[in-house]
Structure 1
Amino acid sequence: MNSSGCWRPSRPPTTRIRSTSMPVQMTIIGMGQIGTSFGLALREHGEAVYRRGYDKELGLANKAKAQGALDERFINLPNAVAGADIVLLALPVHEIRPALELIAPDLKEGAVVLDTAPAKSAVRAWAQELLPPERYYVGLMPVLNPAYLYLEATGQEAARADLFRGMPMMIAAPPGTPSEAVKLAADLSRLLGATPLFAELVEVDSLMTRVDLLPRLLAAALVETTADKPGWREGRQLTGRAYTEVTASLGRMEDASALSRALTLNRQNALRSLDAFIAALQQIRADLDAEDEEALKTRLEKAQAGRRRWWGQRLSGDWQAPEAPKAEMPSASGMFARMLGFGRRKRSE
């Protein structure tokens, strides 16, 4: 992150992937909202990327293919990754380690494994433990198009071809990752219509805990505080927009195991975030206890202004930072027409 508080835009590394006329073979594991959206976004780049897919629920993989998100679907996970240049793990974090254990023996030399989970440090450790030499891990953290943030649909039903268009795509690679692997992740991000941005693994974990995991915890705490408690029988009938919006993330959460595992893996970040939130609540409580209405009003106005400012920036994409040079959208034929040659370097290189 630079001094203005913005991540540095991606820059092409000096090492280039060598040319080939063959499309890159990409396997998407997990055909939910994210995985299916990757496939849909890449549909227009069929000459550059051949999209293979797998989901443990065969019906989801079949539906993704029927929607045009896949060129080929597999019913066997090891077969799905055999020969793949890129493997995207679009899975809940608690499913990633088992998936890595299954696919590791079948990954070809030079394959790049990507994930979209909010626990990059943990996934990096698993990849380091389980992947054979010359198979590389790079973490991705997609940011969703604000047009779909209030979408009621979940899972595959919420997949959209433009889900990432115009949005940042965080790229976090372990130290020592070949520049070609990072470049491949950046090129893929651009094909999705996203802007690749580099960050550290631990930085992504910290930020995602605050802006993604913590809000879900707060929603859970609100429901635990109210639902099935004295007065709930009547109170539930009075719930309105405020209650609905605050708890909405729980309604869109497909599996509580994913959240509990992500929190456990990000334990220290989660504890710090909870402590900060509890401190903020205690300040509000102190204002109320002191009957200091002016202080309470000032605090709420500050929060309201902060929310309005953030939402305006989120909608416009204008974060009041110096505009970075815009990378030209590469042609599909010129981008993934470069093959993954770095996995086949001589041992002496």
Structure 2
Amino acid sequence: MRVQITLIGLGQIGVSIGLALRDYKDTIERVGNDIKTENEREAHKKDAIDKEVHNLLEAVRTSRLIVLSLPLKQVQETLEIISHDLKAGTVILDTAPIKNETIQLFKNRLPEGCYHIGLVPALNPAHLHSTELGIASARGDLFNKSVFIVDVPVGVPENAVTLACDFVKLLGASPMLADPIESDGIMTSIHILPQLAGAALLNATVDQPGWLEGRKMAGRPYASVSSGLAYHDDIESLRMAVMKNRSNTVHALDILIAGLKGMRDEIEQGDETSVGERLEAALQGHKRWLKERYEADWHGPSTKPVDIPSFTERLFGTGLVKPKQL
């Protein structure tokens, strides 16, 4: 008998998770749910899920592992609907980039005996430059050679954490345990800040003097920077992530502004040497980062294959109800 994993939210992340689990169809039944029925049908057509269940309560009622791959704004709405129908021992994973806010949402709404663990997925470096959106951008290898941050709230049992880490390994990634505060600081710098920088560039150029001519000539550098806003979080979720994470966001913006001001002052002073050194250091940093991302040699947690019987036993055993606390 197969065990059920419910995937709620069938965009790039949710469908890619389903595709990554195809090799385990003999033991895992992938149930898919999305607010849009066309996404459910498309995910099924792609063989990312085994069954479409559009009714949320029905989708989660018999599941012990639920994965929310939703925009931040939809996490609260979904949790309010499903929380009363969750069985004791259910583990919910979410993939929102900012965790302190989601952890508070789950803390206040999950019934006793159910547990939430936050996941922050990174992508396979081979897909970093893709401009596809939604289901079209889903790939079975989207998480290969990548790392998932695993954010564990206080009081979550050890065997639930092991289950989450094993789940990450099934997707081809390596789990990295982190404190939610640390995780949010990291994601603000490398996920939120690039989107805000793209927004600032667009606000500084679109419909400003010279734009009528400039729009005809804007090329790859402009497209690359502005795409930080276009290809990631929806605007409402980005707004929520920024406003619920103000301290980290302001700190990241201050560092960016200081760097821009330093470059501006050197240019104004005609300091060609310093400007050249600053640009060269940035270019070399970019090359080093890409090389490290492609090599993916992080010396992190073991990525040895997961024993599927053990995974499913942890998932459906009774040990999650009264567990050892971390």
Match of 1:243 in 2: 222
2:252 to 273, 277, 287: 273
Q: 1:156 maps to what in 2?
A: 135
**Bigger helix fraction:** 2
SS at match of 2:283: helix
Match 2:305 to one of 319, 326, 329: 329
Change (3 A) 1:248 1:30: same
TM-score between the two structures when normalised by the length of structure 2 = 0.95
Which residue of 101, 106, 109 maps to 1:127? Answer: 106
What per-residue deviation string (whole Å, max 9, x for no partner) do you get for residues 45-99 of structure 1? 0123211111000110111011111111111111111111111110011111111
Q: How many residues align?
A: 322
- Asked if 1:106 corresponds to 2:78, the answer is no
Comparing 252-261 with 26-35, greater Cα deviation is found at 252-261
Contact 2:160–2:320 under 8 Å retained in 1: no
Q: Partners in 2 of 1:291 and 1:325 — Cα distance?
A: 48
| Aligned twin of 1:259 | 238
1:220-246 CA-partner distances (Å, limit 9, x unpaired): 100110011111010111111111111
Q: Which residue of 1 aligns with 2:318?
A: 341
- Give the AA of the match of 1:342: G
CA-based RMSD: 1.5
Alpha carbons 2:71, 2:233 under 8 Å: kept: no
**Are 1:117 and 2:93 counterparts?**
no
> Which of 45, 62, 70 is the aligned partner of 2:24?
45
Structure 2, unmatched stretches of 5+, are none
1:73 aligns with 52
Q: What does 1:157-196 align with in structure 2 at a 5 Å threshold? A: 157-196=136-175
Structure 1: runs of 5+ lacking an equivalent: 1-21
Contact 2:157/2:320 (8 A) holds in 1: no
For 2:290, which of 298, 308, 311 is the aligned residue?
311
Identity of aligned residues (%): 38
> If the length of structure 1 is used for normalisation, what is the TM-score?
0.89
Residue in 2 that maps onto 1:6: none
Q: Which residue of 2 aligns with 1:31?
A: 10
In the alignment, the residues of structure 2 paired with residue 308 and residue 230 of structure 1 have an alpha-carbon distance, to the nearest angstrom, of: 34
Relative contact order, higher structure (CA 8 A, sep 6+): 1
Alpha carbons of 1:126 and 1:67: their partners in 2 closer, same or farther (altered >3 Å)? same
Dislocated runs of 4+, deviation >4 Å: none
1:344 deviation in Å? Answer: 3.6
Q: Which residue of 1 aligns with 2:279?
A: 300
